[in-house]
Each structure stands twice: as structure tokens, then as C-alpha cells.
Amino acid sequence: MLVKIYTDGAARGNPDGPGGYGTILSYTDSKGQTHIRELSQGYEKTTNNRMELMAVIAGLEALNRPCEVEIYSDSKYVVDAFNQHWIDNWIKKGWKRGKNETVKNTDLWKRLLEAAKPHRMTFIWVKGHDGHPQNERCDVLATSAADGSGRIADEGLAREGRL
């Protein structure tokens, strides 16, 4: 089954402000019917990159069986980590990059990799705020979650001592 996951993250006052993610899952069943599911969540204090990652994670974690997954994101951070094989190098180097610096958001990268295990994924970059309907909708979901009530704490950011 092919599932398309569209994602976006947002943070107000990055890196210390509220943020949120928006995710759309779309698949077409054997009868030709398209099914859409939207997900979003807001966080009290977070970063844009963490919200970009959470959007992908939420989409993958919502799947209940192995799928072929196309992930559409306007985040070069997320897309290039896979398409440019940065993540493979980070893992080989014990989650270090460049000048022996620790990779940021390791908790979420590990969670994403765990959620991805049963699936075959393809990452596709889309230009943000360029009229792509699903990307624009994900932006609305993400910013509404960032601005709305019901925000939760970003525990991983606090554990990393980045708040």
C-alpha cells in the first residue's frame, strides 16, 4: 500500500517559543477511494527542526502495517538527512557530526528510525509557501497547533538541556 505523508513544522520565536507540527496522511484504496487523515500537536517551547521531525514521526507512527511511504517535506534538514545519507554517517560516528559535535535532536532521529523500520520510505522535498496544497494545509495545521491551546512540553528538548 502506498501512503503519502505531507509534513510541516513551525516554531514561534525559534528556538525558545511555542511550536507545532502538521501532518496529512493520504492513501487510495483498491476501490479508488482516497482516504485523508490530518494530525497536529502544539508544544510549549521547541524548535522548528524538532517540529519538522515530529511531523514525520507522527505520520509514520500512525501507520498500522508496513507500507511504501512517500514523505513530502519542505525541510531540507529532514529530507537531506536521508537523501544525502547524513543519517547513515551520524550513526556510524556514534551520533557525531563535523568537528565531533553531537547531532542535535538525536532523540527524535532515533524515534523516526524506529517508526520507519517496517516501511520503505522515499523523501521528497517541496518548496514551502509555494502554493503546494498539502504543504500549505500542513502549515496551517502546524501554526494553529503552535498558537492554540492544548500545547504540551517538549520533554526531549528539556532532556538535552536546550531549554
pLDDT digits (tens, 9 = 90+) for 23-54: 999 999 999 999 999 999 999 999 999 999 99
* Cα–Cα nearest to 72, from 2, 17, 14, 15: 2
pLDDT band at 14 (very low <50, low <70, confident <90, very high): confident
pLDDT digits (tens, 9 = 90+) for 102-152: 999 999 999 999 999 999 999 999 998 889 999 999 999 999 999 999 999
Known catalytic residue at 80: no
The rounded distance, in Å, linking the Cα atoms of 155 and 45 is 10
pLDDT digits (tens, 9 = 90+) for 49-77: 999 999 999 999 999 999 999 999 999 99
Expressed as residue numbers, the domain containing 6 is 2-159
| Residues in binding site | 8, 52, 74, 139
Determine which one of 13, 35, 85, 129 is catalytic.
129
Q: How many residues does the chain have?
A: 163
Total tally of structural domains belonging to the chain: 1
The rounded distance, in Å, linking the Cα atoms of 146 and 148 is 6
Determine which one of 9, 20, 22, 156 is catalytic.
9
Q: 100 and 38 in contact (C-beta within 8 Å)?
A: no
| Residues in binding site for Mg(2+) | 8, 52, 74, 139
Known catalytic residue at 129: yes
Determine which one of 52, 59, 154, 156 is catalytic.
52
Domain of 17, CATH number, reads 3.30.420.10
Neighbours of 139 (CB within 10 A): 18
Known catalytic residue at 9: yes
Which residue's C-alpha cell is 508496513?
66
Known catalytic residue at 74: yes
pLDDT on residue 163: 55
